[in-house]
Amino acid sequence: MDVIVDRLLMLMAELRDRGESRLPSERDLASQLGVARGTLRKALERLQDEGIVERRVGRNGGIMIRQEHPVMQLEGLNPHAPFKVQRQLHRIQGVPALLSGQGIESATRVLKTEERGANNLEATKLGLTAGSRVLVILRLRLANSEPLSLEQMTLPAARFPGLLDRSLNSLYEMFERDYDVTLASVDEDINISRASASVAQLLKITIGTPLFDIERVSRDEAGVPVELSHDLFNATLTTLTHTAGRSVDDAGLNLHGEPHVSAQLH
């Protein structure tokens, strides 16, 4: 149900940007979203209960977007952002160090922490057996008081005893200082996704705004995975950069160190 609600909110944001306030008919919406009309009605009823849409009867009736609702008034994509954070893909660097190096004030809000059993994806990415204990940390990163990114980090609990009882603002420095864990290599998959309603509220952007969607696996000096992270960066405030070297082999000039980058709108 949450997925259908988010897709409706994204559609509403697009309609609003075009100056429209009426949603298509239930039949057209169900066809457009590829869902049953009963499922669609439940999602619309939820939006109506939250005051985001209203049903009007009569010749000019239909399902209307309430433009004054706060969720429809969030700040949109701004091409003239007051600053841009340069995130270098060829460097292993935490967000606080990244921002301070560019003269940008950083802050972190820890939204949630938990210790639990690893799901299948987490176990596979971290080289653990299914159900092994992991630490999960959800943080909101701010740059000059503006929400920059939402990060969920998953760590093998055995490598970091007592971590959740510590300050969680700057973890990479703590890994090396207190746990003798040095990050030596990182694999990142980078996609473009769109902000759901919940993410939009946290990042203070419009629903459907493009995000840099980054999945990261970090390894220690022995090549053992120690971190699985999923980051959502506000594309308004972020520029991704990468530096590649050149070398000559029998086939000619080749670039080395290129990141795996794929662009896909969700």
Give the per-residue pLDDT at 177.
94
Radius of gyration of the chain (CA): 22
Provide the token pair at 251: 């086939």
* Arithmetic mean of pLDDT over the chain: 79
Residue 123's pLDDT band (boundaries 50, 70, 90)? very high
Give the per-residue pLDDT at 71.
53
Residue 256 CB: number of other CB atoms within 10 A?
8
Flag the least confident range among 5-9, 36-40, 85-89: 85-89
Q: Which domains does the chain have, with CATH numbers?
A: 3-65 (1.10.10.10), 85-241 (3.40.1410.10)
Encode pLDDT of 91-111 as tens digits: 555 565 565 566 767 788 999
Give the per-residue pLDDT at 117.
96
Flag the least confident range among 77-86, 123-132, 150-159, 180-189: 77-86
Question: Which long-range contacts link 6-10 to residues 24+ away (Cβ below 8 Å)?
Answer: 6/196, 6/197, 6/207, 7/33, 8/33, 8/43, 8/44, 8/47, 9/47, 9/52, 9/71, 9/196, 9/197, 9/207, 9/208, 10/194, 10/207, 10/208
CB of 81 closer than 8 Å to CB of 236: yes
**Can you tell me the distance from the alpha carbon of 153 to that of 162, in angstroms, rounded to the nearest whole number?**
16
Encode pLDDT of 61-95 as tens digits: 889 888 655 555 544 434 444 554 555 555 555 56
Give the per-residue pLDDT at 241.
64
